Structure formats: structure tokens, C-alpha cells
Chains A and B, each alone.
Chain A
């Protein structure tokens, strides 16, 4: 009977087939994610939930004291829900404690083991260069953080752990808020809620991720659409204000503060095609409001703000763009580091941190 229906023409049956097909594909994708990354609909007994809410800050953190398998990584979190060694409340006698603030790049979204993170490698390199000196590095990076979240984390959690040096690697999550600020302001509607599809559907995400080339191909046209975008001044001012606030908070707490330039896989000077290829994942996230050109302009504006704050507050601005090369060797995608990239960042930071220690 089903075979007969398949070859009959019935609109309702067509609809049923379509919905069933899409559902089947979605379930298959979730099963594949479960098998490949350990992340899916059904967590195993060895895993715990990935994230929790920090009662002190109200922000998302990793589940404290957990081992989390995600995207081919094993994240071991400490009591504070950070991908970091266990930290005593106060530094040990003679310990030089460093805190690295950031988001998914600092947290090592694609770095298999904690020990391969640049924060851990930095600690190792510093210990080698300063034998006999206790070195502690707090990795306070949590995926998804904006500078506002980083400020809250610094203010309410990290400074209470008495670091002597705070390194800010802010990343680019704030681009999302720039795009949102630039879009049409929504009216204050009093609307009723309605049922939609779950936000964690894999099918739209995977289709979008794997079809970036379709949207940005310019083989025939020879050019790409221009997406004129200017960061709304108020949004850029808010971004600056958060970084300034972190600098002031660190200073008040008696800690040195340094800003580290956020790195991208694509660099000026690379062939345009290579740049576009390397910035694909960024364009996947921000392609709604940015094209490649405006993405570069936005990144430059953010780094420019960081430089300006560093100048104004007399704090070091550590530019890693010359010492850490772009490209696939050091980057998994537009912004996240490979193991080699983590090593390169740690090596590049070491002399600057030693300068601060001395």
C-alpha cells in the first residue's frame, strides 16, 4: 500500500514524505554528531553536561570539576568551571599568577587536551625560562563570551584569585553585537509567543556551513557583493568602554594588564582567494551583515580600539600578528588555533610576559 502511495499523486502524502524526510535527515545528523563528537541528543554516562551557570557571575562556564568531550576535544574543568588547573584562592608564596581572559580561542575550542592550550604552554615556557619560580596561569576563556562577559568574569571571579598579570585576548564575538546594533531597531511590541522549531537544529546549520562557497563564489561575476557596513558608533564606544573598565579594574586590584591582539587565519598580503577561503567560518557566522571587505574593516576597527586603550592607559599592547603566522598550519578555521597555533602563541607571548615579570 505504501509503495502504491509513493507512486500515486496525493498532496497530503507528499507533505508527509517531505516532513518525514527532513526529520529523518535531522535525526541522522544528530546520530552522526553523537558518534563523531560525543555531542548529541544522548550524553553517555562518562560525560557530564557541558555547561553550567556560575552563581557568582551569572555567566555560562564549563561544568565545574568535569571532563567534557566535545568536538574531538577533552575539556577538563576546574572547580571554577574554567579549562584551567585547579587554582588556590590565593597565590602560593612566590607564585607569579597570570590570568588570560577571552572566549573560545582562549578556551581552545578545537584543542584536544588542556595541556596543549597556549595558557598551559605559556606556563611551561615561563617555568623553563624562570627556573625555581612558581608560575600559575588561569585560563578564563569561555566560548561565546563578549568583552562585557569577560569584564564581569574578571571583576567577580578572576581578580579575587589575585593574579599579578591579566592578559586580554578578546577575540571577535563582539561582531555579533555590532551587527545586531546596526540592524533595524525592533519596536516595543507586546506579542504573544509561538512555537517554532528548536534552535539547535543541525540541518540548517550544516547546509549553511557547507554552502558558503555557493554564496561567495565569484567565478563568473569576478566580484563579490558589497555589504556596506559601519560599526554603529555607540556599539564601538560600548566595546571600548568594556576594555577600559577591565584595565581600570585590574589596576585597582594591583594587577598589571596587557592587551593581546586577536588573531585571524587570513592576513592582508595573502592572495584574495586564500583570504576568502580562510575567513569562511567568520563569514558563516557574520555573513548576514558583513562581506569579506567589511569583515576586515571591522576587525581592524576592533584592534584599533584596543591599541588606543592601551596607549591611553599606558598598558602594553602585544601584537602577535607578526610572530604568529596565519594560514591552516596555525588555525583550524578563521580564528581558532590548532595545536601548532597554541604553541606559536605561547612562544610569542613568553618574552612579553617575562618583561612584565621583571
Chain B
């Protein structure tokens, strides 16, 4: 059940109705949410449900073990063991098959078994959410353990189950302790607006950019000219943003209708003036998770070698995305750039020079950062380092200046750039104005959006982050 399918919205609407019908019976509401969330996950594969419930059990046990430890050393030991156990399913499903295939060996005859494993969709996301529970208890962000029902409700909550946002236990569990009420009229308006903009981002922008620029360019780069390949790299950046941001908007909107708030994931990432700033704006829940739980834990900027800590953190980010050398190199690249920026910033500070660019230098920094981020994405899109090399070599085809896209492709690419590089305040103002429109006008605008979502895409591509 894709989150862009009518089935998902029918399903969500029925859940909202059921929550409304249950009135003030919060325990029943939580049970309902768990049941529908497990059913939602089972529409992908029933077997995935067992993986999810196993993680819930592990996480619950981890919380108990951490909070009942006799001393600080025991707490830390138990925490580390629980994190390792929680990571086991992720390692087994996602990384072990790749490691064994890459090694060319067949230890214990596992090759056949591992080959039959299907990667549970969303495991990369909900594993981290499961880990955040004992971690937040350990750090004191959560003051007390949650009931098993609350914990399962948190982990299985279906809008965020597949692709996040990676919502920490400390962000979601307190919402379960309040009375559970579906959205009032104002929250429903903003929730619907989020869903509407999410669908436009995914179905109109992401899918059309994928179909017209990215797929043709990457499926056979040697068949295309330099200009098209260069444009496709930037189109891929826009596609990635609209794909995951669109998904995030949809699920945040659906959650808001049900009375829950999920964290934001993006803050105009392509307006970043540095790679460090980019990671504060891109996939915020994921990057902040690694910052808070890995980077700070291994010393951050306070203990050990800060540059090594940065490299370790970013390589981990890379590997989280996929078990391949392209992702390792991606992590190394970003870690090195962030490290370099830190070094430069510190040096400029020591010499009394401004550390942040302004004016024309700011604009230039933004463009340079966007260019670096986009070209580094080649490692994301290419299946192997060799494929990335083929793409780069194909850039030499300067005699072919054709850009084989339709008018819609051109229009959407230009609109993508405009949407990213205009002041954020404009979007806020527009949002505020539309939110104040009467319902009839809002419904008309939404109807136009439905028309565009039906008319413009030819293919319906899956979500990019579903493969992670």
C-alpha cells in the first residue's frame, strides 16, 4: 500500500474515523493504532511484522534493563549489548547477504538461506527508532519507561513506519501520554495542506524528473550528451529532495490529522552555504540521530580526534544508506569536506576573519555547495564505483548538446530551481494565505492538484529511500 495510492488515503481516513468514534477511550485507540499499523505493514509482507514485533520486544526489554541496572557501568554495558542486539536484524537482512556475496565464500552454507531473505521495508528506519528508546532513557531525555502498549504503538505507528521521519522515543512517547484526539479544524487544514504539497512534490516533481532526466541519463550515460548528463545530475538532486520531502509531508499530514506531530526532515537544504550546514538541513531526523547518538558518543569535538570522529560518523551515515562501496566513498567524501570546513572555520576564527559568508560570497557559497552535493550524489545513484566512472567518462561527449525532454520536464526543472532558491519566507506567506482561504476555495485548489497528479506523471516510480 503505497503512501501515494488512493488505498492509503482511504485507509487513513477510516483510521481517523475510528479514532474519532472511540471518543476518550485512549487505551482502545492505542490498540487500534497498533492493529492497523501491523495490518498496514502486512500489506507489504506478513513476515515483516514478526521482525517489527521482535524489535519492539527487544527495545522494551532494553528499556527495562537500562533503568534497572545497579550502577552506571552496568547501565552502559547493558545499553551497548541491547543496541548490538537491536542492530542484529538490520545487519542480518541488509548487510550480511552483501558481505557474504562479496567475500565469495559460503560460511555454514548460509548462502542459499541469505539469498532468500527479503529486506523488510523500513527496517533501517524503525531499527533506529527502536534504539532511541533505551538511549533516551539512558540519557535522561525520557524520565520513565513506557508501557509495552505505548512502546509498540510508537514503533509501529504506520505513517512513519516505512521511510520515517526517524522519530525518537522522547519525541513521540509523550504524545501518547496525553489525551489522544484527532485534529481540530485548524490542524486538519494544515494537515491537508501538508498532504497536498507532499503529493505534488512526489507525483508531479519527483516522478517526472525521474522519468525525463534521471532514468534516461543513468540507464545508459554513453547514449547521452554532456549537457544532458550535467543537467540530469542536478535534476537528480531535485528528484531526491522532492521524493523524500514529499513522502515526509504526506505522512506528517496524515499523522497531524490523527493528532500526532512528527518532526520535520528538511529545511531548504539547497540553500546551505556549506556542507556542514547542508547536513543540518537535509534529512534532519537521520543526520541529527547520527550526530546525537554516534558523533557525540565517540567524543564529538570534545574528546579524541574531531576529524576522525567526523569521518567515522559520515561513513556510518553512508553505510546506513546501503551496503556498498559507493556509500562508503560517499560518507568519506562528506566527512572529509565537513572536516575541512571545520579546519578552515577554526583557522579563520584564530585570524579574526569572518567565518560565515555574506552578500555575493554567500550566493557563491550556496551555489558551490549545491554543486558539490549534487555531484556527490552520483555515488548514490550509480550501482557501483565503475558505473559512476562510466557516467563521468560519458561527460566527454561534448558534441551532443541535445536535451531530450518534453516541455513539462523543462518547466518542472525550472520550477524546482525556483522553489529551492527563493526566500523561505515567500513559501510561508503563501501557505498562510491559502490556510486562510474558505474551505470551498481550498477544495478547488486541491482538486486542481488531483488533476495534476493524474495528468502529468507517466510512470509511478517507487520512493528512492525505500531501497535503503
Contacts and interface: CB of A to CB of B under 8 A. Distances in A.
Contacts of B7: 194-197
B43 A225 contact: no
Interface stretch (A56-64, A106-114, A142-150, A208-216): A208-216
Interface in A316-345: none
Contacts of A10: 185, 188-189, 439
B377 to A, nearest CB: 20
Contacts of B35: none
B446 interface: yes
Contact of B440 (A17, A225, A289): A17
A123 to B, nearest CB: 42
A189 interface: yes
A153 B389 CA distance: 52
Contact of A18 (B216, B403, B443): B443
8 tightest A-B contacts by CB?
A11-B188, A11-B189, A17-B443, A196-B7, A211-B455, A10-B185, A225-B212, A7-B438
A77 B26 CA distance: 61
A215 B458 contact: yes
A29 to B, nearest CB: 13
A190 B46 contact: yes
B402 A197 contact: no
B406 A217 contact: yes
A192 interface: yes
Given A12-B188, A15-B188, A196-B6, A225 B443 contact: no
B406 A215 contact: yes
Contacts of A22: 447, 450
6 contacts: A11-B257, A14-B442, A191-B46, A217-B407, A226-B404, A288-B459
A221 B187 CA distance: 42
- Chain A interface category by residue count: 35 or more
A208 B454 contact: yes
B414 to A, nearest CB: 10
A9 B436 contact: yes
Nearest to B182: A12
Contacts, number: 151
B222 to A, nearest CB: 11
B435 interface: yes
Interface in B198-221: 211-212, 216, 219-220
Given A14-B189, A18-B443, A196-B5, A191 B45 contact: yes
A14 B43 contact: no
A204 B189 contact: no
B223 interface: yes
Contacts of B403: 221, 223
B207 to A, nearest CB: 11
A14 B192 contact: yes
Interface string B421-438: 000000000000001111
A94 interface: no
Interface string B38-51: 01001111110000
Contacts of A219: 407
B17 to A, nearest CB: 11
Contacts of B406: 215-218, 221, 223-225
Given A196-B10, A207-B451, A13 B439 contact: yes
Nearest to B185: A10
Contacts of A228: 216, 219-220, 223
> Which among A5, A22, A215, A218 has the highest number of chain B CB atoms within 10 Å?
A215
Interface in A164-196: 187, 189-196
Interface in B368-406: 402-406
Contacts of B404: 223-226
Interface in B206-256: 211-212, 216, 219-220, 223
A221 B443 contact: no
Contacts of A221: 403, 405-407, 409-410
A12 B10 contact: no
Contacts of B447: 18, 21-22
A190 B183 contact: no
A18 B407 CA distance: 29
